[in-house]
Structure 1
Amino acid sequence: MVGNDIIDLNEASRASNWQRPRFLDKLFSEQEQAYINSAENAFKMVWRLWSMKEASYKLYTQIAPIRFYNPKAFQCTINKDLGTVKYKNFYCFVQSKITSNYIISEARLKKQKLNSEIIEFVSLGYSRQSDELKAKLIDSLGSKFRLEKNVFDVPILSNGKELFHVSLSHHGRYGSYVRA
């Protein structure tokens, strides 16, 4: 099982006002806010933490398939490019990579190197980008796989016999996918 999330830093800068009152309080614990306040680049730390929470949430919903919104409950800790996220009895490792264009985070139950494939979209528009991302995933695996969603709306790959966990993410000009 795996979860990933990508943040287009230009899009986040353009579309978000993370410095507005109470924004950080709604999404981040005191410890996470301390990471933000002491970071060399607070903007990138905000979006790194957010991508860690999103990747972990995607992994969690593969284990306990229920949809909910409670990002503050997913508690992040960071040690260089490796982090951990805890939610109730759930615990996972999150590898993050920060570039000048995007932040990618990948959550797994065991420590593992980042395996997400990153694409820069040709298409404009959310629906077209989603289709482009799914097509790239299927192309990378061969035509014997189908991308489906289970009854809880979690994406899975099927070859007719087996099911494989997959995570897809896109934001702004960038998309990413990873197969467990």
Structure 2
Amino acid sequence: MLSTGNDLVSLNAINVTRTKQPNFYSKILSPTETALHKQPGFANIPFEIFVWLLWSIKESAFKYLQRIDAGILFTPVKFEVIDIQIPPGFNILNFDRVELTGIGFDGVQAIKSTIKIDDYILYSNSLIYQEFVTATVSETGDFSRTHWGIKRIDSDDIEIQSVEVRAFLVDNLPDKNITINKNPRGIPVLLKDDLELLIPISFSHHEYYVAYSFQLPV
């Protein structure tokens, strides 16, 4: 499979009290997933952030599978995080820059997880900052060909978010003579000379942050 999926949640926009209520988070997390928060590594991650961390993982997995299975539906509790690993000494830091980009997740405090959806097994790397959580999904634990980026912008207007995230991605593509469009299923694609490239892309944005991922073929 060659696909990609990413998601971002601005933590400034969440309702902390509502998120911690069982009748809310039980629509996102299974009891088994809720129990994962009791692992020692989560001591520095409040439960409300944990909930949105898993949401972003599940949403990223859904975006990934949309390219492969046109009929898939997003039911969060059916996208099961079966394993999650917190790096030693993990702390939530401030996002003290305008943008951050990478290829793979070596050198950053990435939270690694495994997601099961029916017969699919996918893998995720997630980042948590005081301002947001973000996740990127791949079909293997090897993210060495996965490019990603996060950027703070000056507007939370949805049209400006859309323009900004597309420009951000194009600025970080190896070939600048590329345009972005959507295929008939509404999934963003890269075009060169009106031909779709085999480079899957994914966008996300929330409040004042935008993010992308793209996967290069071998």
TM-score by length of 2: 0.75
Contact map agreement 1:35 1:45 (CA 8 A) in 2: no
Q: 1: CA distance between counterparts of 2:142 and 2:189?
A: 20
Aligned partner of 1:59: which letter?
A: Y
TM-superposition CA deviations, 1:89-113 (whole Å, max 9, x none): 1110101111122111110001134
Q: Does 1:169 align with 2:204?
A: yes
Candidates 6, 13, 29, aligned match of 1:4: 6
Matches within 5 A, 1:107-146: 107-113=137-143, 115-141=147-173, 142-146=175-179
Q: Which moved more, 1:87-96 or 1:20-29?
A: 20-29
Task: Please give the per-residue CA displacement for 1:67-119, whole angstroms capped at 9, x wherever unaligned.
Answer: 52311100002122110111001110101111122111110001134732001
- Matched with 1:79 is 85
CA contact (8 A) 1:36 1:46 kept: no
Q: In the alignment, is the contact (CA less than 8 A) between 1:85 and 1:93 conserved in 2?
A: yes
Q: 99-108 or 20-29, which moves further after superposition?
A: 20-29
CA distance in 2, matches of 1:152, 1:125: 24
How many residues are treated as equivalent by the alignment? Answer: 179
Residue matched to 2:75: 70
1:138 positional shift: 2.1
Counterpart of 1:148 (choices 165, 181, 186) is 181
- The residue type paired with residue 149 of structure 1 is K
Aligned residue type for 1:117: G
Which of 43, 60, 64 aligns to 1:55? It is 60
Q: Relative to structure 2, which stretch is displaced further, 153-162 or 70-79?
A: 153-162
- 2:115 and 2:64 map into 1 onto residues whose CA distance is 11
Opposite residue 78 of structure 1, the aligned amino acid is I
The answer for unaligned runs of 5 or more in structure 2 is: 87-110
Deviations 1:118-138 (A, max 9, x none): 010122311211111112212
Could you say which structure has the higher helix fraction? 1
Identity of aligned residues (%): 26
| TM-fit CA distance, 1:18 | 1.1
Indicate conservation of the 8 Å contact 1:2/1:179, yes or no: yes
**Corresponding residue for 2:105?**
none
Query: How many Å apart are 1:163 and its aligned residue?
Result: 3.6
CA distance in 2, matches of 1:126, 1:52: 22
**1:18-72 Cα shifts (integer Å, max 9, x gaps):** 1234112222111111124664311111111011001111101111123523111
